[in-house]
Amino acid sequence: MTERIEIRTSQDVLRVRQRVRALAIEAGLSLVDQTKVVTAASELARNTLEYGGGGSADIELINGAHHGVRLTFADEGPGIKDIDAALRDGFSTSDGLGLGLGGAKRLSNEFKIDSVPGKGTRVTIARWK
């Protein structure tokens, strides 16, 4: 079952963090892994809000070959022109540190990003035991 959280405000980013923490606990992730996936979720939710102009987070438990959580962040913002550049540490089009996307990738077991300039961005991550 997938749960959707709309991301419109920084309060929604906090709600994403809280729900991801709860699901990670339900999946039986260790405290370290819970914190990894919550941190990644927080960065991606912030990007959805800041650059995407808002969007959604779909959160689901995975209970197959792996036990964990899968998260999809989607927006209909401007998209990312150069995904390789965006993933590089230190790359930011704002005054950010440019660590969010690369950090989220390193903290995840699965990481996929689809972005179409002018259409939007979708990032899916998973963290499992």
Ligand X SMILES: Nc1ncnc2c1ncn2[C@@H]1O[C@H](COP(=O)(O)OP(=O)(O)OP(=O)(O)O)[C@@H](O)[C@H]1O
Residues near ligand X (CB under 6 A) are 43, 47-48, 51-52, 75, 77-80, 86, 91-94, 96-102, 121
- Which among Mg ion, ligand X, none contacts residue 68 (Cβ within 5 to 8 A by kind)? none
The vertex-15 CA angle with 84 and 90, nearest 5°, equals: 25
| 33/29 Cα distance (integer angstroms) | 6
Q: Which one, 27 or 101, has the nearer CB to ligand X?
A: 101
48 binds Mg ion (CB under 5 A): no
Fill in the amino acid letter for 36: K
Site for Mg ion in 70-109 (CB under 5 A): 100
- Residue of the chain from 12, 24, 34, 47 that contacts Mg ion (CB under 5 A): 47
Kindly state the tokens that stand for 19. 């729900």
52 binds Mg ion (CB under 5 A): no
- Order of strands, sheet of 55-63, starting from the edge strand that comes earlier in the sequence: 2-7, 55-63, 67-75, 120-128, 110-116
| 83/115 Cα distance (integer angstroms) | 8
Q: Which one, 30 or 93, has the nearer CB to ligand X?
A: 93
Residues in touch with Mg ion (CB under 5 A): 47, 100
